[in-house]
């Protein structure tokens, strides 16, 4: 296949490069993600969570971004996505909504917009997915969004409780 230039993704997320390189361990992650999506997309209200964990700079945010675009554009699912943009000391927390071919963005320091959209989407939209990018477990608790996601990309450690199915990729 050839390299695809997707300017819409570059305009929104700003971190895609001219080429995508896929490492062997990422193939395992993508296979697990594919299985997760097959199961959860068939449910009206998925309860499961998929967490991408790893060292900074390993592509977790890029995978999360591509999944958000896939869900919004191919599966026609509304997607609410919270992440930090800008990098370094100038980064700003932003919540984005992809809904019916439209894209919305709000600066959202305390995740209040994200939580409001969670309530609104749960009540009014038949299918809505929630993604968090770059928050560790302490930040999830601090912002009171502990389990308010289906997809999470994080570099932090996690303490799991309850029934958990882990798939490590090396």
Range of the structural domain that residue 84 is part of: 7-154
pLDDT of residue 19: 55
pLDDT of residue 14: 61
In the chain, the N- to C-terminal Cα span, in Å, equals 26
Q: How far lies 56's CA from each of 63, 64, 161, in Å?
A: 13, 14, 24
Q: Which H or E run contains 40?
A: helix 24-40
Q: Computed from CA positions of residues 11, 143, 149, 76, in that sequence, does the dihedral angle turn out positive or negative?
A: negative
Number of structural domains found in the chain: 1
In a domain, 47, yes or no: yes
In a domain, 1, yes or no: no
In a domain, 23, yes or no: yes
In a domain, 63, yes or no: yes
Distance, in Å, from the CA atom of 83 to the CA atom of 91, rounded to the nearest integer, reads 10
Long-range contacts (CB closer than 8 Å, 24 or more residues apart) made by 64-70: 64/131, 64/133, 64/151, 64/153, 65/9, 65/13, 65/15, 65/16, 65/133, 66/9, 67/33, 67/37, 67/131, 67/151, 68/98, 68/129, 68/131, 68/151, 69/9, 69/98
Query: For the domain that residue 75 is a member of, what is the CATH number?
Result: 3.40.50
Please report, in tens digits, the pLDDT of each residue of the chain (170 residues total): 344 455 556 666 665 555 555 666 777 888 888 888 888 887 766 678 888 888 887 778 888 888 898 888 888 889 999 998 766 667 789 999 998 888 899 999 999 999 999 888 866 666 788 999 988 888 888 888 888 888 888 877 777 666 666 666 66
pLDDT of residue 11: 64
């Amino acid at each position: 296949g050839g390299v695809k230039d997707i300017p819409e993704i570059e305009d929104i997320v700003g971190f895609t490069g001219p080429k995508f390189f896929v490492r062997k361990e990422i193939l395992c992650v993508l296979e697990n993600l594919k299985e997760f999506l097959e199961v959860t997309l068939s449910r009206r209200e998925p309860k499961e969570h998929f967490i991408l964990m790893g060292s900074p700079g390993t592509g977790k945010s890029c995978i999360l971004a591509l999944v958000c675009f896939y869900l919004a554009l191919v599966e026609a699912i509304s997607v609410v996505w919270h992440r930090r943009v800008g990098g370094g000391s100038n980064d700003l927390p932003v919540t984005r909504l992809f809904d019916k071919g439209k894209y919305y963005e709000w600066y959202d320091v305390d995740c209040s917009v994200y939580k409001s959209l969670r309530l609104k989407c749960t009540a009014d939209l038949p299918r809505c997915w929630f993604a968090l990018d770059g928050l560790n477990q302490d930040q999830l608790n601090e912002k009171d969004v502990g389990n308010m996601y289906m997809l999470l990309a994080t570099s932090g450690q996690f303490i799991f409780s309850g029934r958990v199915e882990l798939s490590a990729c090396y």
